[in-house]
Amino acid sequence: MPRSDASIANLPRHVAIIMDGNGRWARKRHLPRAAGHVSGVSTVRAVVRAAIDIRLENLTLYAFSSENWKRPALEINHLMGLFRSYFREDIEELVRRNVRMRIIGSRRRAAPDILAMIEDGEARTAGNDGLNLTFAFDYGAQEEIAAAARELAEAAVRGELDPTAITTSLFATHLSTGELPEPDLVIRTGGERRLSNFLLWQSAYAELVFAETLWPDFSRNEFLDALNAFARRERRFGAVEPEAAA
């Protein structure tokens, strides 16, 4: 049975999810990898709807990494087809449910029609003030950090920025997530325990939850369980408890 909204206490402001396990889910069922990706999209819808229902402020989903271009062309083409379907079929619901959608990552390699769908979705939801839903598409954290450093260096060369004025706070504003709070909670499904080049700078003090469940089987209830696990953790951001410092 679905958890009630009342069961969620101390919501994180920003949850980020590494959606892993589509291929293994399909392989376990002797299905093509494409079937895992199709089922994974259904999980995306379920988790986004749960986030809306509990009034989560920010949700970021790792949809396609910059390294994923190394996969077989047939799989990439299928994934791009799923992105097209999602933008066509779900944008109306996002508009209706007051979700603001945005994409982070490189857009240089996206097909023109996908780029147009991204821009249309961002424009149509720009005025919404409910859930901030971010898809990391053709995204790599190391590339993002290098781009931010390059931007600041170029400003310094032009004389527009004193290098001594560069702080961690200033640097963060030049990342693609500059408008968002840093993630409080990063969830990874599929049993692996690594960040895989996802929000490396932003996740410095994020709480991490690693779920064994493969992404297509990750349910609304497991998502809410992860949020409740976050609520039970004590976050000190490098400090110590007052009695320990005494």
The residues that are catalytic are 20, 68
> Going along the chain, which residue ranges are E strands?
14-18, 58-65, 100-104, 132-139, 185-188, 207-210
186 neighbors 211 (Cβ within 8 angstroms): no
Residue type, 178: G
**Helix count (H) and strand count (E) of the chain?**
8, 6
Task: Report the candidate in 120, 101, 104 with the shortest Cα–Cα distance to residue 112.
Answer: 120
Our CA dihedral for 38, 144, 173, 14, rounded to 10 degrees, sits at 30
Q: Give the largest Cα separation in the chain, rounded.
A: 61
Q: Is 23 helix (H, G, I), strand (E, B) or coil?
A: helix
